[in-house]
Chain A
């Protein structure tokens, strides 16, 4: 990921709920450098969710619907571990 892509992602991680801000901040610190294109796309897909739905997913209260590519569940697992 180049600098612009990273910066864009970082700003996309600015959310309306503090809970999401904090998890995403930690995720970027740990994993941003090693994200490939497929996983970056998966993360961006999760970031399209509204903040309440995103936090419900990150805190494990809900699950992402079955039937998507494995990368989205892999990203979700990494987010939940943050």
Chain B
């Protein structure tokens, strides 16, 4: 069994970074190069982080392909966010973007190049010149391996800078002293099953998203929202968790994306009656209507009982009429994906698809320095000393209600570096290491002890399955007040069941059952935050649409949601419409 004794070992660091994807590695590099003693904890080897899945590139207004500037990038990002993004953070991100891209180039990132040696930039949806006038080429890529190349460059550089990696370690809980200051984390070493305290002067979470709360997600299995769960248990609220970006055509049950090119080439969607239903929802554009329109139509068909499949929870993407030759030639890879993940050959049979969760816009609330901020004594953004968050797990908030393509990598580079710089400043101003509170490891040890001693409990895998199904059915892209209210009730029941999960395997070394049960503790907090926040927000903004309030409602809802685990309660704080130096971009109707 795990070490639940009183003599938990302690190691001391200047900073501990949890997560070794793009944000964690960028922050750690800043710290180690400043000569600080920095530990990075990761569940998997750093170059296997989910950042590897990013293909779209990094958005930065380098202007290598023609005129571009940060004001235009800022406008696109604010508009993309459906005005929920904080404009100070957005200005900071787009102004810093060129600098962090050039730095990355100097770290050895093999960007695609122009003939004159400058970084080549691709066009990407939502990015424009002159405030929405026409498309601009702003995305910096390394072939179709941008994420991988970035991880590789940053990891090598960290090794050189003597960052201490703790690979196959899972952080369990945040340590706060009675004043609320953060003093590190507890973590489990998978190899031994031992728990250790990482006592640190500063703690950064860069744990990525939690797409695994849904049945259908493009996220890898490791994306279990560990940082969000730890923050929520430690009394930190989670911001804007109702905002998740969906892609309309993910393979049902698997989540793997089917490119929009399939519909571009003439593929179309059918309900269980074989009806081409998009003709009813979008008579002109039909299956080529925008992502949110198609996703909304699909969700309506499923909700009204016309969904296909055994459980009636998907629709069908038909492309057999295109013929094998067109499919093989114009849509490479699609046949392999359909055969492998849907068990159908699209040359003969349609592919079952559903709107699929792709990116988490919300997260741990931070300012644009990467410092975690919470409401305290009348200040909506009071800094939590010693605590930082960056990347998908943080909410600065630059993506607001909908993220623009390529801004995820921009986000993790800019805020990874900025939080590193903030930590360096904080450590200069606050020398010495405060003592650990007496109860430092208690929360983690009692969670582990509970798992060890639980009998007659439920299988964690079963409870996790129910959680995912509930999120998928009750809190998808198109939201209905009745199903949301029922979803809140259900997810609270499932949350109770999570406290009684049981693992059969109690072995110590590499016990993956224990790890997955601990991951579920994190997932359920994210699921509950999402459902409760979504139920309360009676408007449609950005990524989702609500059936009883189809419009954005700036009078009542131009504000950020804050969900607290304690009491399962909500609070709100204003959106910052005031940039650092630029003029405010006032809310208006979002059309493309």
Contacts and interface: CB of A to CB of B under 8 A. Distances in A.
Interface of A: 3-4, 7-8, 10-11, 14-19, 21-23, 25, 50-52, 59-61, 82
A7 B510 contact: yes
- Which 3 residue pairs of A and B lie closest in terms of their CB atoms, listed nearest first? A16-B52, A7-B510, A16-B48
Contacts of B218: 18
A4 B507 contact: yes
Given A7-B512, A18-B53, A18-B255, A23 B220 contact: no
A14 B221 contact: yes
B49 A59 contact: no
Interface of B: 43-44, 47-53, 144-145, 147-148, 152, 168, 190, 217-222, 254-256, 333, 336-337, 340-341, 505, 507, 509-512, 515
Contacts of B509: 4, 7
Contact of A8 (B48, B147, B341, B510): B510
Residues of B contacting A: mostly: loop
13 contacts: A7-B509, A11-B515, A14-B43, A14-B221, A16-B44, A16-B47, A16-B53, A25-B221, A50-B148, A51-B48, A52-B144, A59-B333, A61-B336
B511 A21 contact: no
B51 A16 contact: yes
A42 B229 CA distance: 37
A15 B51 CA distance: 11
Contacts of B515: 11
Contacts of B333: 59, 61
B510 A11 contact: yes
Contact of A16 (B190, B222, B254, B505): B222
Residues of A contacting B: mostly: helix
B48 A7 contact: no
A3 B505 contact: yes
Contacts of A61: 333, 336
B512 A16 contact: no
A17 B52 contact: yes
Most-contacted residue by chain B among A14, A15, A16, A59 (CB, 10 A) = A16
B507 A3 contact: yes
Most-contacted residue by chain B among A19, A21, A59 (CB, 10 A) = A19
A23 B511 CA distance: 21
A11 B254 contact: no
Most-contacted residue by chain B among A3, A23, A61 (CB, 10 A) = A3
